[in-house]
Amino acid sequence: MKKYNFSAGPAILPAPVLKEAAKAVKDFDGMGLSILEISHRSKQFVAVLDEAVASVKELLDLNDDWAVLWLTGGASSQFFMTAMNLLPQGEKAAYVNTGTWSTKAIKEAKLFGEVEEIASSKDQNFNYIPKYKSPKDAVYLHLTSNNTIFGTQIKKFPNDAPPIVCDMSSDIFSRPLEIEKFGLIYAGAQKNLGPAGTTLVIVRKDLLGKVERQIPTMLDYKTHIAKDSSFNTPPCYPIYVSMLTLRWIKKNGGLEAMQRKNKSKAKLIYDEIDRNPLFEGFTAKKDRSLMNATFNMAEGHADKADAFVAACNAAGCVGIKGHRSVGGFRASIYNAMPRNGVKALVEVMQEFEKKHG
C-alpha cells in the first residue's frame, strides 16, 4: 500500500531524493565507497557542500554579503547562538511569541541581554499571529515564521523592523522571501529540507563581531564562516540529502512553483475541514499555515477521534495525530507532499463523514 507521511518531522522527503540518497549509501559518485564513509575533506564531498551553498544562495537570491552555514544542534541550539552572536550586552532584542518554539527562544535569549516580548498569542493558546509594532531601539526582531504545533504561519514580514532573525525550520524554501528584510535565518533540516542532523543558518556577515563577550569557538558563527562549515566534521549525509532536495526544488520550478503548489494543497485540506461537519479547525483562518493544517473533531464528535486516526492509517495516511500538547490532528503538507496525498486524506474524511455523520 502506498503510504503518505503527514508527520511534522522528521518529515516526508521527495521520492527522487530518497532514491538517489539510497544509491549513495551503497556507492557514492562511483567511488566504490558509501557517502557515509567518505572524508569530508575529499573533493567529492567538498563538491556536495559547494553545491548545497550555491543552491541556497540561488534560491534565496543571496549576494556575497551573506554566509550560508551547515551546522549541528538543531534549531534549538540557534535559540541561544543567535543572541550570543548578535545581541550586545546592554542592548535589546524584540521577540514575538507565537508558540512553543518562540517561547523557548525567548528563554534562551534572556541569558545574553534584554529581551522585550512585544506581542504574544498565548492568551488564545497560540491559535493566531498577534499584531505588533517593532521597537526602533531593538538590535533585531525575532520571529518564528511557521508554527508546527499550532498550525499558524506569518504571511507577510514587516517593512519597518530592525533586521529580522527568523526560525524557518518548518517552511524554509516553501515560498519566495524578501531577503532584504532579514539578518539571519535558521532552520532545522528535518521538516522541509532534509533528514535530521543538520541545521541551515543564513547570516548577514555585517551583523557579526559586534558583541564583546567571549564566545566558545564552536558557537561563534565566524568560526564556521572561516572554515566553510568544516571547522569540525560536518553532518555529511544530511547535508548531501539536503543538497539533493534543493536540486529537486530548482528542477521543479523554484520557490514560486513551491508556493503555488503549497497553496493548492492547503486549500484542498482546509476546504474539507470547513465543509465537513465532523471536523473543525482551531486556528484563525487568516493565519492558517500552508505547511501544517491543524484540526479537531467537531463538538459532539470527540469520541470518534481514535476511529478517525485508524481510518487514516488504514488508507495509508500516517502521522496524522496532533502534537501531544494540543491533541487533535495535524496534516503536515510540506513541499514534498504530493497533491495526491492530500487528496487521499480528504477522501478519508469524506468517507468518515458518510459512515459516522
Which residues are known catalytic residues? 101, 167, 191
CA distance 69 to 198: 10
- As given in the structure block, the three cell numbers for residue 96 are 514575538
CA distance 238 to 54: 16
Considering only CA atoms, give the Rg of the chain: 21
CB atoms within 10 A of CB 274: 12
Residue with cell 549513495: 24
CA distance 30 to 49: 18
Burial class of residue 126 in the structure, from the number of CB atoms within 10 Å of its CB (0-12 exposed, 13-18 middle, 19+ buried): buried
CA distance 256 to 249: 10
